[in-house]
Amino acid sequence: MRYLTFALAKGRLARKTLDIFEKIGITCEEMKDPDTRKLIFTNEELKLRFFLAKASDVPTYVEYGAADIGVVGLDTILEEGRNLLEVMDLGFGKCRMCVCGPESAREVLKRNEIIRVASKYPNIAKDYFNNKKNQTVEIIKLNGSVELAPIVGLSEVIVDIVETGTTLRENGLDVLEEICPLSARMVVNQVSLRMEHARIQKLLTDLNTVL
C-alpha cells in the first residue's frame, strides 16, 4: 500500500485537525512533540504521512499531488485559486472575510471612488470589488497586521479575516461589509481522489461521524 500524504496548514488548524483525526483512530505521536524540528511524520501501521506547511503553500502541494489531501482555510483556498477538489467543510476555524475600516470609511465606500484597499488577500479583495461590486480599487498587498493600514493612512479600508472582532475593536475599526463566511476545509488532489477513492471515502465517512 502506498502512503496517503496529508498537508496541514501549521498552527491552530493543524492542531485541531490532529485532535479530530485522533477521534477516528488516526494518531501521529511524533508530531505532538512541540520541540521537534522534523517536517514530516509517518504512521507506518496506517500508511499515512503528515507534514506541516505554511497555509498558503498547502493548495500548491495538493494541486501537484505532493500531498493527496490538505487541510486549510477557505480564505487560502480562494486566494490561491489552485486546481483541487474541496471535499469537506470541517466546521472549525470559523470566521468571516470582511471589508473593515474606520466608521468614516462607510461613506467613502458608497461613493464608488477609487480607494485603496490593503490586504493579505489581494485576489479575494480584487474579485470582491471588481466582480461583485463593479468598483475599481487599488489593492495594496500586505503580509500581516493589516489593521495598521487604515490607521496610519496607507489605505481607506482593508480586506481581512474577522474572528472575534477583538483586533478591530482594539484598533478603532469596524466591519463595513461582509464578503463571505470561512472555515477549515479538506481538499483533495484530483488524481488521488480517483486512485485512492476507497481510502479517502472511508476517511470522509469516519470524519462525518465525529464532526
Q: Which stretch binds ligand PRP (CB under 6 A): 46-54, 103-111, 164-172, 179-187?
A: 164-172
* All three cell numbers of 75: 480564505
Q: Residue 118 Cβ, how far from ligand PRP at the closest point, in Å?
A: 11
What is d(CA 2, CA 192) in angstroms, rounded to the nearest whole number? 11
Q: Residue 86 Cβ, how far from ligand PRP at the closest point, in Å?
A: 21
Residues 135-154 that bind ligand PRP (CB under 6 A): 144-147
Residue carrying the nine cell digits 491552530? 12
Residue with the shortest CB distance to ligand PRP: 144
134 lies in the binding site for ligand PRP (CB under 6 A) = no
CA distances (Å), origin 120, targets 13, 34, 66, 188? 18, 28, 25, 24
163 lies in the binding site for ligand PRP (CB under 6 A) = yes
> Counting Cβ atoms within 10 Å, is residue 193 exposed (0-12), middle (13-18) or buried (19+)?
middle
End-to-end CA distance of the chain: 28
162 lies in the binding site for ligand PRP (CB under 6 A) = yes
Q: Residue 98 Cβ, how far from ligand PRP at the closest point, in Å?
A: 9
160 lies in the binding site for ligand PRP (CB under 6 A) = yes
What is d(CA 59, CA 74) in angstroms, rounded to the nearest whole number? 10
Residue 4 or 125: the one with the smaller Cβ distance to ligand PRP is 125
20: helix, coil or strand?
Answer: helix
Interacting residues with ligand PRP (CB under 6 A): 144-147, 160-167
